[in-house]
Structure 1
């Protein structure tokens, strides 16, 4: 679906019904086209499964009834750790139908991360895949968690999902839900403290339907989607899962593909060919690795290719364009927002550009005083605080709200410039966030873990340019007395980090230094280290 940028920008209107909620959308889809396939699932062992929209409705309501039998009420927090599995949508939708708030968590986290999240938002229910229950069991007695549901098998002191939903009604008379009711708490990373709890309301999903679907994926609920198959390669614990599989796939009524297997470029290309995927959303690292293959040997049915997480460089764009006559299109947004910038279907893609502002958001670039900057000037990407497409604040954290909302704007912390044609270009990160292979990594989390090692006195983490991953985490380390830098110590610190934090956060490079650059007040000047790495 090609659109006119000017026409869409000028004519866009927000249409968010007061009673909007995603469980009601599923009910409507099931009534209208219940036999349409909502989900096609495949895992690395060849196991397949399908779910129609009627199946989703039944499974959603059965799990909602099961949660009610356990005592889950409207407003309760339900934390989940789930790989890509056929029942993920049933679990998420069922919790929402019950009026609970979802707390998505990545399977790459560590037990202490789960402990922090559960305590921070006072989560009382955990729904976890059998392969991940150990992460919760290790800390369960140190959290407010009271109810434990396991998906896929048995676990001591856990209630089986299959047994829980067996015999439950496929109708659920749950609490009334509205667009302004809380829906989820998605944790994000910062540079000066713990992950932050981003609170979203049910209207978030409607905003995805109105913005992400037409202006990024190129689909709408009014389109003929019978020959479309959408594939977003994200995991269930990330905000990106809500950006695409839930916020676009489910809201529009499309059929989407879910693969439960580790990323391998050849495998993914074969899958796209065999399953006849028509629209793909992947991260730049995956596109860069795709481009190293002989793309001309694959007969793909792709109509659109989307990228998000960090700027996509020219080489994979040109490789996909040449092989498949499809131009990968960047989009930009955050856990706190919908897509703020996209390379719209139908407009020219400028390599390296984040695209143009999506309609209705009012995305702009401002200086420190909140004034809009001119063409070519660098400033901070910002969105008016009254925009429906952003979050309302951090869950039970008014002090964080005060730091983030400034006057008329929500400040994203990302720096950009704008050219004469209205395209935005990423210039850096005001808050030092590292983006590696699509993962957002707060340097504080890396540094905090490193200095807990007896050999480390001080540490600073920055992003270092990398051909495939965009950036990698590099740590500058000041050693404690009695230790000397060596390859063996680098390996020891890396192994230590992999045990202490999520694997994608460990520093792939470590440089031992005598001292770190600091301001007069003692704050680390990461900007100097980043500049050093770029040079």
Structure 2
């Protein structure tokens, strides 16, 4: 593994999980987490949460795991997820959260890439092929009653957790984060979230998503606030009543969730102070509609798996209309053109940022390729406005972003191998209506094919968020002079007929 950062100046031994839960030690009776359902909530106090995390750490070590070993998490939106994630880190293990939607075909090469010593698995969630021992989620929950493990203290630069993201090569990249990554999140508390100890933050996302994991869980707990998480099966249509019933003060979600909530009249939400939006670009019209419906603002952030968020609007400094916001106080951000700093170019963040990844697992060439001197290239194109705000212009690569999930078109195309009746295909993201984008598969065949059959083929090979929602029969795939597929021209071929 290539280390991307200069050493972070942490002189004392450090543990990410201990840092996240330190404030809660003085608030043992305060609600730390509530998993919400229309029928009620499962409540966890800080005292219970901390004891359970350390008990899980004890149980994992008792199975013979050693500090530095990797633990693959195949879990849904239940308490077992944060217990497994923080319990592993508390014990010096390296958890690897993954999407519960990933199929067996998708998770198998990911598991092979990281070489886990253990898989923690929820019921009905696909497992990788192989001989890796599996710990069922109910057994992990029983570990919560064990005596507490010691906090595994060490260098803040050592690996803390690994997450997967899609790379431009079409293969998921394993992103290694250090324990010190949690320190980089401090810039977001005021610079984006407007979060404090008295807040009750509801995040409408899956636990495995880094947006939920950070903004929805670790940030509230670091400050002693309360995390509200919708349980399995909760729909966007049910969120307004949950916000009202459980006195949420901040709502965090992808733009698509806010859009779905606005399809019906919203109840009065007197406790809600503002919303946080990330995962995909926030349309100005959606922000305005939310303001009109709730009397509160939406604050957008730009981020990525390699460094979470670093440009945003905030309650103390809302983004001007037409922009995303400002570099968060404490961040070193640059806009780089071909010849150096510019007002229009690629967004970059300095390698000294504590939230920046250590690197891509066992891929120093891919890690080094993301740097230009001391600047990490995010792959986003932005324009710097007169007052310093940044306007997001899109990705420099072909990444798709349906529903807030970054998806590589190459991965989708490879998974569609054997598409029945088609001789060639390619995918692109298309805008079906203002602000709403989905994946469309364009294919070559003798005649138009049955969309239901094509969708059935995709369903067995791809997680739902990576499946094409539209299927378009075309005569030829557009290519440039070098014979490479022109995805921009491909997307333009979509027809709503």
Matches within 5 A, 1:421-432: 421-432=387-398
Report deviation, 1:469.
6.3
8 A Cα contact 1:289 1:468, kept in partner: no
Q: Is the 8 A contact 1:477 1:512 kept in 2?
A: yes
Asked if the contact 1:204–1:338 (Cα under 8 Å) also holds between the matched residues in 2, the reply is no
Superposition RMSD on alpha carbons, in Å? 2.3
The match for 1:34 is: 28
- Closer/same/farther in 2, CA of residues 534 and 511 from structure 1, 3 Å limit: closer
Q: 1:163 to 1:257 in 2, by over 3 A?
A: closer
Contact 2:205 2:253 in 1 (8 A): yes
* 1:218 counterpart = 2:194: yes
Is there any run of 5+ residues in structure 2 with no aligned partner, and where?
1-7
1:162 Cα offset (Å): 4.1
TM-score relative to the length of structure 1 = 0.86
Output one character per residue of 1:436-473: Cα deviation in whole Å (capped at 9) or x when no partner. Answer: 11121111111112243243332221111133763111
Number of residues paired by the alignment?
489
Measure, in 2, the Cα distance between the counterparts of 1:449 and 1:469.
Answer: 27
2:341 alignment partner, SS class: coil
Matched with 1:9 is none
Q: Is the 8 A contact 2:412 2:466 kept in 1?
A: yes
Find the counterpart in structure 1 of residue 5 from structure 2.
Answer: none
Please state whether the residue corresponding to 1:459 is helix, strand or coil. Answer: strand
Question: How many angstroms does 1:321 deviate by?
Answer: 1.7
2:401 maps to: 435
Alignment match of 1:190 (pick from 143, 154, 167) = 167
Corresponding residue of 1:254: 225
Residue 531 of structure 1 and its aligned partner are, at CA, apart by: 5.1
Compared CA separation, residues 467 and 351, structure 1 to 2 (3 A): farther
TM-score, with structure 2 as normaliser: 0.92
The answer to whether the 8 A contact 1:310-1:470 is kept is no
1:262 to 1:294, Cα distance in 2 relative to 1, 3 A: same
Determine if the alignment matches structure 1 residue 329 to structure 2 residue 290.
no
The equivalent position to 2:283 in structure 1, one of 313, 330, 333, is 313
Residue 380 of structure 2 aligns with which residue? 414
Task: Measure how far apart 1:314 and its partner are.
Answer: 2.7
- Sort the Cα spacing of 1:294 and 1:16 in 2 relative to 1 into closer, same or farther, 3 A: farther
In the TM superposition, residue 263 of structure 1 has moved relative to its aligned partner by 4.8
Matches within 5 A, 1:342-381: 342-369=312-339, 371-374=340-343, 377=344, 379-381=345-347
The alignment status of 1:484 with 2:447, answered yes or no, reads: yes
Cα distance in 1 between the residues matched to 2:21 and 2:101: 33
RCO (CA 8 Å, sep 6+): is it higher in 1 or 2? 2
Contact 1:83 1:260 in 2 (8 A): no
Question: Distance in 2 between the 1:264 and 1:28 partners?
Answer: 33
Quote the residue 2:261 is aligned against. Answer: 290
Distance change >3 Å, CA 48–CA 294, structure 1 → 2: closer
What residue in structure 2 maps to residue 77 of structure 1?
Answer: 70
Partner of 1:493: 454
Contact 1:435 1:470 survives alignment (8 Å) = no
Name the CA shift for 1:121/1:493 in 2 (closer, same or farther; >3 Å): same
1:403 and 2:403 aligned:
no
Shift of 1:16: 5.6
SS of equivalent to 2:259: helix
1:120 aligns with 113
C-alpha separation between the residues in 1 aligned to 2:435 and 2:134?
37
8 A Cα contact 2:25 2:50, kept in partner: no
Of 147, 153, 161 in structure 1, the residue corresponding to residue 140 of structure 2 is 161
Select between 463-472 and 323-332 the one with higher mean Cα deviation: 463-472
CA distance in 2, matches of 1:532, 1:367: 31
- Deviation, 1:192, is 2.2
Q: CA deviation at 1:500?
A: 0.9
Matched residue of 1:130: which SS?
coil
| Other-structure match for 1:6 | none
Instruction: Say whether 1:202 aligns with 2:179.
Output: yes
Q: For 1:400 and 1:386, locate their aligned partners in 2 and report how far apart those are by CA, in whole Å.
A: 19
Matches within 5 A, 1:439-518: 439-467=405-433, 470-479=436-445, 483-486=446-449, 488=450, 490-518=451-479
What is the rounded CA distance, in whole Å, between the counterparts of 1:174 and 1:384 in structure 2? 31
